[in-house]
């Protein structure tokens, strides 16, 4: 394989990973900006999407019905979590939400582990496995599905937030909750909506990428964390997050390909740490502090 093809190959796998981080980053941002909750179950939504689909499919449902049911179930779980646990916190602070959602993530992980064991699982690709050759690199149709999915989500969400009335109201309440309430906007419904949205998008991402990256009870942690990195580096905006996530994915792909696959996680995490630390020094750029 020529160097160019290699680069392309790693780029493709990197972009696939980056797409996961991008949608996850969006889930983090949407929830955080509107509800001020740092939701550490975001990564678990991806896991649930994939694992529930696999589970339902194995129980006899067709692939499509299983997927739809999995998405619905994840949305339900997200909404129930917000309603019961997150809303009931008596001393809300960012740290409390963080510990609470980490605990909730542990619960979800543990339940899936008990139900379906610790092996990684695979879902069949939706459009077959026939490899497509592009400039010396190979990709499967599923990769195209993933990238298309990302584009639809990004465009759709941008349109929703900037053009529709509901979306604008959502953004307004993020900036000024009191003002929004005074205008008659029901903040608690927005919170539900955001959690549900994060659940649904996360689950869809899990389903769409499971044929490529497989799924298992513990994929939520690192993926979720990288989504958070993307959100932080991207300044909690949609476009910024997506770009940061894709960049992160690309760099990860190259690291895995040219250096070592087992160290690629270290790489992303280092990016997060270094970026966070550097942003405390006044280097001439101002990171938007939420």
| CB half-sphere exposure, 62, CA atoms < 13 A | 3
Q: Which stretch binds another protein (CB under 8 A): 70-78, 160-168, 187-195, 225-233?
A: 225-233
Among 68, 99, 192, 247, binds another protein (CB under 8 A): 99
Which long-range CB contacts under 8 A does 153-160 form with residues at least 24 apart? 153/23, 153/26, 153/201, 154/22, 154/26, 154/238, 154/239, 154/242, 157/26, 157/30, 157/238, 158/238, 158/239
| Among 88-96, 120-128, 184-192, 203-211, the segment contacting another protein (CB under 8 A) | 88-96
DSSP letter string, 218-278: THHHHHHHHHHHHHHHTTT-HHHHHHHHHHHHHHHHHIIIII-STTHHHHHHHHHHHHHHH
Q: Interface mask (CB under 8 A) for another protein, residues 154-173, using x and -?
A: --------------------
Q: Which of 260, 268, 192, 258 shows the shortest CA–CA distance to 20?
A: 268
Q: Does position 263 bind another protein by CB under 8 A?
A: yes
Q: How far is the CB of 198 from another protein (least distance, A)?
A: 18
Do residues 46 and 112 make contact, with C-beta atoms less than 8 angstroms apart? no
Measured from the CB atom, the residue of 12 and 232 that comes closer to another protein is: 232
List the one residue from 96, 185, 247, 251 that touches another protein (CB under 8 A). Answer: 96
Contacts (Cβ under 8 Å, ≥6 apart) of 71 = 49, 200, 203, 204, 207
- Rounded to a whole number, what is the distance in angstroms from the first to the last CA of the chain? 45
Q: Which stretch binds another protein (CB under 8 A): 3-11, 177-185, 191-199, 269-277?
A: 269-277
Of 9-17, 170-178, 241-249, 277-285, the window that binds another protein (rule: CB under 8 A) is 277-285
Is residue 276 a contact residue for another protein (CB under 8 A)? yes
Q: Tell whether residue 47 is a contact of another protein (CB under 8 A).
A: no
Provide the minimum distance between the beta carbon of 107 and another protein in the complex, in angstroms, as a whole number. 4
Among positions 59, 88, 182, 184, the unique one binding another protein when judged by CB under 8 A: 88
- Of the residues 34, 51, 100, 230, which one makes contact with another protein according to CB under 8 A: 100
Task: Retrieve residue 155's tokens.
Answer: 């465009």
Site membership for another protein, residue 251 (CB under 8 A): no
273 is a contact residue toward another protein (CB under 8 A):
yes
Do 31 and 13 meet the contact criterion of CB atoms below 8 Å apart?
no
- What is the closest distance, in whole angstroms, from the C-beta atom of residue 98 to another protein in the complex? 6
β-bridge partners, 121:
215
Contact positions toward another protein, by CB under 8 A? 38, 85, 88-91, 94-96, 98-100, 102-107, 109-111, 113-114, 117-118, 217-218, 221-222, 225, 228, 232, 260, 262-263, 265-266, 269-270, 272-273, 276-277, 280-281
């Amino acid at each position: 394989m020529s160097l160019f093809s290699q680069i392309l190959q790693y780029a493709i796998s990197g972009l696939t990973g980056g797409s996961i981080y991008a949608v996850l980053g969006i889930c983090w941002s949407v929830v955080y900006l509107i509800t001020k909750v740092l939701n550490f179950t975001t990564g678990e939504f991806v896991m649930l999407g994939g694992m529930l689909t696999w589970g339902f499919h194995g129980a006899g449902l067709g692939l499509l019905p299983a997927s739809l049911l999995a998405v619905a179930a994840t949305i339900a779980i997200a909404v129930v979590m917000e309603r019961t646990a997150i809303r009931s916190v008596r001393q809300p602070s960012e740290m409390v939400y963080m510990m609470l959602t980490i605990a909730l993530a542990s619960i979800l992980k543990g339940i899936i582990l008990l139900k379906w064991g610790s092996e990684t699982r695979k879902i069949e690709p939706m459009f077959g496995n026939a490899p497509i050759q592009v400039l010396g690199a190979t990709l499967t149709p599923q990769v195209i599905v993933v990238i298309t999915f990302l584009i639809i989500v990004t465009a759709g969400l941008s349109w929703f937030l900037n053009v529709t009335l509901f979306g604008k109201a959502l953004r307004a309440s993020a900036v000024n909750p009191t003002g929004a309430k005074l205008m008659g906007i029901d903040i608690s419904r927005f919170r539900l909506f955001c959690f549900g949205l994060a659940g649904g998008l996360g689950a869809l991402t899990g389903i769409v990428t499971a044929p490529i990256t497989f799924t298992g009870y513990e994929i939520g942690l690192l993926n979720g964390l990288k989504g958070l990195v993307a959100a932080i580096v991207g300044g909690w905006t949609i476009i910024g997050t997506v770009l940061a996530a894709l960049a992160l994915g690309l760099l990860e792909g190259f690291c895995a390909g040219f250096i070592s696959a087992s160290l690629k996680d270290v790489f992303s995490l280092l990016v997060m740490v270094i970026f966070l630390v550097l942003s405390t020094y006044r280097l001439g750029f101002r990171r938007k502090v939420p």
